[in-house]
Amino acid sequence: GEDVEQSLFLSVREGDSSVINCTYTDSSSTYLYWYKQEPGAGLQLLTYIFSNMDMKQDQRLTVLLNKKDKHLSLRIADTQTGDSAIYFCAEKDFNKFYFGSGTKLNVKP
Amino acid sequence: KAGVTQTPRYLIKTRGQQVTLSCSPISGHRSVSWYQQTPGQGLQFLFEYFSETQRNKGNFPGRFSGRQFSNSRSEMNVSTLELGDSALYLCASSPGQFYSGANVLTFGAGSRLTVL
């Protein structure tokens, strides 16, 4: 199957920017996604990007896609304690979704 | 618009028992996918149903099965439970059509299964 990799942990201070990285192996991915999971909850879609785009911005979120290197990143500006959660990247190939293992973001006050 | 509803939210079973989990998708969504989430293995794909047919399947043993009804509601069943089946089981629905753009998955809150 396809391989989606993320680092497991990231710790930042409130007010700083957070950058969560993801690499994937499937060059035929059509869409790539970022989901957020808060404790005790399911996954909530944050944003997604079409594979022919390089960047997408949505308020405090910026997604960068380097298709050549198969690298996806999520930048959260002005990180708040409420952003503490697990962040999953995912890719879609045809109608199958492949998820990374999740990056746990800890925001220190 | 109601979200994805999973029942029960929590359950405790003992080894050897079987369990059935239910998922009601967003109205109009025809695809339902199931995932197992554990701390060690992350999010593992179980199977996907579309219009009452299993369309995709992950690498789980035959003890894990599912079905989808004509109203798109889905159930998954795990027989002969093992300790390692303790996990959060997540259901996600989507419109499900091929080539339908992003075809975003919308997740339920999950069913947390504990096997003793």
- Strand-strand pairing, B53-57 and B31-38: unpaired
Q: Kindly list the residues from chain B whose CB atom is less than 8 angstroms away from the CB atom of residue A42.
A: 4, 6, 90, 92, 107-110
Q: From CA A83, how far away is CA A104, in angstroms rounded?
A: 10
Q: What is the mean pLDDT of residues A82-94?
A: 91
pLDDT of amino acid B39: 82
For residue B14, give how far its alpha carbon lies from the nearest alpha carbon of chain A (Å).
22
Phi, psi of B69 (to 5 degrees): -95, 170
Q: What's the mean per-residue pLDDT of chain B?
A: 92
| A66 sits in which H/E element | strand A61-66
- List, for residues B30-82, the tens digit of each pLDDT value: 999 999 999 877 889 999 999 999 998 999 999 999 999 999 999 999 999 99
- CB distance A42–B35 less than 8 Å? no
The yes-or-no verdict on residue A1 having pLDDT over 60 is no
Encode pLDDT of A34-49 as tens digits. 999 998 889 999 999 9
From A48, A96, A98, residue closest to B102, measured CB to CB: A48
Chain A, nearest residue to B38 by Cα? A101
Chain B residues in contact with A101 (beta carbon < 8 A):
42-43
- Which of B45, B98, B110 faces A42 most closely, judged by CB atoms? B110
Residue A30 confidence (pLDDT): 82
Q: Which residues contact A42 (CB under 8 A, 6 or more apart)?
A: B4, B6, B90, B92, B107, B108, B109, B110
**DSSP tag of B25:** P
How large a percentage of chain B has pLDDT more than 90? 84
